């Protein structure tokens, strides 16, 4: 009866030791967190098929819009996909934290010198101390899993912000390239006009050298815009994890209008403390450190228990001896005090890091809010004041030239100033768009998309 009861106990422990790893709830939780931090609805699902090359080509066929770019980033970026798989690793660690270590079986065979029946002993021992360590281990692993989910959400938010930045930089570079090309044509016309005046004796060689320098400068500026365009588009393709060349793909959405609406700065500051995933991840890091302290305090000594069996030598009154066995660690030299102290120092470190991050986020939101407001006003000024004034001057110069009241050089210079004003407007609009992205990054949540031009 005792032997059958022992076998049944072993069977129960073996069944209890079986565990499966299912990260599906973690995937769903991470996708909800990413939706909250980015405002997007379609998020990569590790259990769903990936976008095929044909689907990606179909999206790019008629040009790439900003919404399509962010959608591709969240569905196709390989680093984000790797982050989801890391949740499976964290879930595995959580499951492992709830399992007891396998028991150890020791066997000894003693052979009598004159011969006879072999004596043997068997000891089956497992750690009992782990039973009261499991709750702390699971809490520690759960806090680590939550932290990874929040870190993945933050990473996805950074990915969306970087995608928007690369997209707008590409749009601005292509618009600036168009203006630079027009500026090159004007510079060439100006140089040709000066050379004709030199031949007629109206202008000097110095004027010709100056016009030639302006033409070369315009050419250099055009080549720089080409470089900026290539860099921005290549960066965008990398963020979308697209392997084929997308330099010829058009970017269909223009730069957005400057967002001049008022932003409640302090309200946004307070909201960021709850919205930013890294702030909440810091909270989970503190919780994990607290659980680590509790776990290390429970590891001051080890205790093992199990069963022992022995078959004595021949002639003994009993054929088999079976009984309980206990192994106790004697904490003479190591009472785990060093690990407890280390865990306590790590807890204090995590608490200070959380306090520092909270203060940094508050100031970052304030700075980003102020910067976005200034950039929006500058872009509106360039759009409403600078460009119209430069275009009016160019229009007046053209009328004066037709009436014979000014020279062709004055006309070309006025037209060049108008082109430069448009380039300045593009730079100001880009700065306003990037500043708003920085504000969303600092706040940890979307603010709503401004209108396109």
Block means of pLDDT (10 residues each) for the chain, 453 residues, are 42 53 93 91 93 91 92 95 93 88 81 72 77 80 89 93 94 89 82 80 77 82 86 92 86 88 84 88 88 82 73 69 76 78 92 94 93 94 93 88 76 83 92 93 78 51
Give the residue among 42, 46, 40, 41 at the shortest CA–CA distance from 26: 46
Give the residue among 293, 281, 289 at the shortest CA–CA distance from 151: 281
CB 450 within 8 A of CB 257: yes
CA within 13 Å, CB half, 417: 17
What's this model's pTM, rounded to 2 decimal places?
Answer: 0.81
Taking the C-alpha atoms of residue 52 and residue 67, their distance in angstroms, rounded to an integer, is: 19
Q: What's CA 169's distance to the chain center, in Å?
A: 20
Taking the C-alpha atoms of residue 140 and residue 289, their distance in angstroms, rounded to an integer, is: 8
Q: Go through 198-224 and write b for each residue having 16 or more CB atoms within 10 A of its CB, e for each that does not.
A: beeeebeeeebeebeebbeebeebbee
Stated as kind and residue range, the H or E segment containing 282 is helix 277-297
For the chain, list the domains and their CATH numbers.
24-312+335-443 (1.20.1600.10)
Taking the C-alpha atoms of residue 152 and residue 280, their distance in angstroms, rounded to an integer, is: 12
Angle, helices 408-443/337-381, rounded to nearest 10 degrees: 150
The alpha carbon dihedral of 406, 407, 408, 413 has a sign of negative
Q: Which residue has the tokens 């029946």?
A: 117
Given this model, what pLDDT does residue 316 score? 64
Number of neighbouring beta carbons within 10 Å of residue 20: 5
Stated as kind and residue range, the H or E segment containing 131 is helix 129-200
Q: In sequence order, what are the beta bridge partners of 300?
A: none
Alpha-carbon separation of residue 192 from 187, 326, 415 (angstroms): 9, 102, 16
Taking the C-alpha atoms of residue 181 and residue 297, their distance in angstroms, rounded to an integer, is: 71
Given this model, what pLDDT does residue 229 score? 87
CB 414 within 8 A of CB 394: yes
Q: Is 170 exposed, middle or buried (0-12, 13-18, 19+ CB in 10 A)?
A: buried
Q: How far apart are the first and last CA of the chain?
A: 86
CA within 13 Å, CB half, 197: 18
Give the residue among 98, 191, 94 at the shortest CA–CA distance from 143: 94
Given this model, what pLDDT does residue 189 score? 81
Given this model, what pLDDT does residue 70 score? 95
């Amino acid at each position: 009866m005792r032997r059958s009861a022992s076998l049944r106990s072993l069977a129960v422990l073996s069944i209890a030791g079986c565990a499966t790893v299912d990260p599906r709830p973690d995937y769903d939780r991470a996708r909800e967190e990413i939706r909250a931090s980015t405002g997007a609805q379609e998020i990569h699902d590790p259990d769903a098929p990936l976008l095929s090359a044909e689907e990606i080509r179909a999206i790019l066929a008629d040009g790439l819009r900003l919404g399509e770019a962010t959608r591709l980033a969240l569905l196709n970026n390989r680093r984000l996909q790797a982050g989801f798989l890391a949740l499976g690793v964290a879930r595995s660690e959580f499951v492992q934290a709830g399992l007891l270590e396998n028991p150890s079986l020791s066997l000894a065979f003693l052979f009598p010198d004159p011969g006879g029946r072999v004596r043997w002993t068997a000891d089956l021992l497992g750690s009992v101390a782990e039973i009261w360590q499991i709750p702390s281990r699971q809490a520690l692993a759960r806090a680590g899993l939550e932290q990874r989910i929040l870190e993945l959400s933050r990473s996805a938010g950074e990915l969306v912000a970087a995608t928007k930045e690369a997209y707008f930089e590409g749009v601005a570079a292509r618009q600036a390239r168009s203006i630079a090309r027009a500026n090159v044509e004007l510079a060439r016309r100006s140089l040709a006009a000066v050379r004709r005046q030199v031949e007629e004796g109206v202008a000097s060689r110095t004027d010709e050298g100056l016009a030639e320098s302006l033409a070369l400068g315009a050419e250099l500026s055009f080549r720089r815009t080409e470089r900026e365009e290539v860099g921005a588009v290549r960066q965008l393709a990398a963020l979308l994890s697209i392997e084929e060349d997308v330099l010829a793909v058009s970017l269909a959405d223009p730069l957005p209008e400057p967002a001049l609406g008022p932003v409640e700065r302090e309200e946004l500051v307070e909201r960021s403390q709850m919205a930013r995933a890294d702030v909440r991840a810091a909270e989970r890091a503190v919780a994990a450190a607290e659980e680590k302290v509790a776990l290390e305090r429970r590891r001051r000594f080890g205790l093992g228990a199990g069963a022992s069996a022995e078959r004595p030598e021949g002639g003994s009154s009993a054929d088999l001896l079976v009984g309980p066995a206990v192994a106790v660690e004697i904490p003479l030299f190591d009472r785990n005090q060093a690990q407890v102290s280390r865990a306590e120092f790590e807890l204090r470190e995590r608490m200070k890091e959380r306090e520092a991050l909270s203060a940094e986020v508050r100031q970052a939101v304030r700075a980003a809010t102020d910067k976005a407001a200034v950039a929006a006003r500058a872009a509106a000024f360039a759009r409403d004041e600078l460009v119209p004034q430069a275009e009016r001057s160019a229009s007046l110069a053209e009328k004066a030239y037709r009436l014979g009241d000014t020279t062709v050089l004055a006309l070309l210079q006025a037209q060049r100033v108008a082109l430069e004003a448009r380039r300045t407007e593009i730079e100001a609009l880009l700065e306003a768009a990037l500043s708003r992205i920085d504000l969303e990054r600092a706040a940890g949540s979307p603010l709503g998309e401004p209108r396109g031009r």
